[in-house]
Amino acid sequence: MDAPEPPPSTSPEEISARVLESFERCESPRLRELMQALVRHLHAFATEVRLTPAEWEHAIATLTATGHITSGERQEFILWSDTLGLSMLVDALSNELPPGATESTVLGPFHVDESRPRAYGESLAEQPAGVPAWFSGRVLALDGSPIAGARLDVWQNAENMLYAVQDPGAPEQHLRGVFTTRDDGSYAFLAVRPTDYTIPDDGPVGTMLHATGRHPWRPAHLHVIASAPGFRSVTTHVFDGASERLGSDAVFAVKPSLVRPFVRHPADDPATPPGVDGEWWSCETDIVLAPADAPG
């Protein structure tokens, strides 16, 4: 009597199909869509690169290390998202704005809720922080009309490359504040000229950057969240046009429309802001908000 033929080997395609089928009973259509798409793309990636067991084990170890280094002050998983461009992609998909509206960028890890309200022209610095920079402009609607009472939540790093939340020697409200536009939509405040700085690179993300020939630098910028009743809020940056890192931002957040020139002023300039002693810089930028019902 002939021995029965052994069953055929299970193919990689069959494994993928079984995993996809396992989510068919998911009651949430959106969750089912997300999980099945994740499996399709993850399995396609492994198949395309012929992922080896050693490489898979290294990936698991990297994720484990990412969890270990993550804390209340350090979010390594977001750094992965940032440095792989996923954060900016998700932001772009969620912020399809009409032409003329100020473009958005990522929030970043250094925003703090409940920043102090500050008056028109007030300084953000609560201790010496760098070369003074006067920021001014208007918040406008798409048709160019001014938006009075718009809220600008701004924050930045000091010349030591640190944000206040990173610097134990800095007051909590240092280099951050909330401003309200005047009747003509104008705003102004005294800050410091931002500097290029590095994202944290002493963990798994830094290991990836160095291994792949990339750097951890971000170009100098100021953060702004602009909002007003009846308009879509926008989270954005003002980039220093003189930064050498504009073409290689570690988190891919630079958009040409957000790059601005900084103008140097001597100490004896008649327009020198109060409290400034020495040379200073200025940067003018308008922020244009889309109506709340704009598609996107």
What's residue 5's pLDDT?
79
Residues 234 and 195 in one domain: yes
Q: Is 92 domain-assigned?
A: no
Least confident window among 52-56, 110-114, 174-178, 228-232? 110-114
Residues 111 and 195 in one domain: yes
Residues 152 and 284 in one domain: yes
Least confident window among 106-115, 119-128, 221-230, 245-254? 106-115
- Boundary (domain end) residue, out of 52, 81, 110: 81
pTM of the model as a whole: 0.91
**What percent of the chain lies above the pLDDT cut of 90?**
89
Helix/strand/coil for 88: helix
Instruction: Count the domains in the chain.
Output: 2
- Collect all residues with Cβ–Cβ distance below 8 Å to 145 and sequence separation of at least 6: 185
Strand partners, 176: 155
Task: Check if the beta carbon of residue 94 is closer than 8 Å to that of residue 242.
Answer: no
The average pLDDT across 109-135 equals: 94
Nearest alpha carbon to residue 228 among 160, 170, 142: 142
Residue 8 confidence (pLDDT) above 90: no
- Boundary (domain end) residue, out of 20, 46, 81: 81
- Collect all residues with Cβ–Cβ distance below 8 Å to 7 and sequence separation of at least 6: none
Terminal-to-terminal C-alpha distance of the chain:
70
Q: Is 208 domain-assigned?
A: yes
Domain that includes residue 68, residue range: 12-81
Residue 1 confidence (pLDDT) above 70: no
Residues 75 and 103 in one domain: no
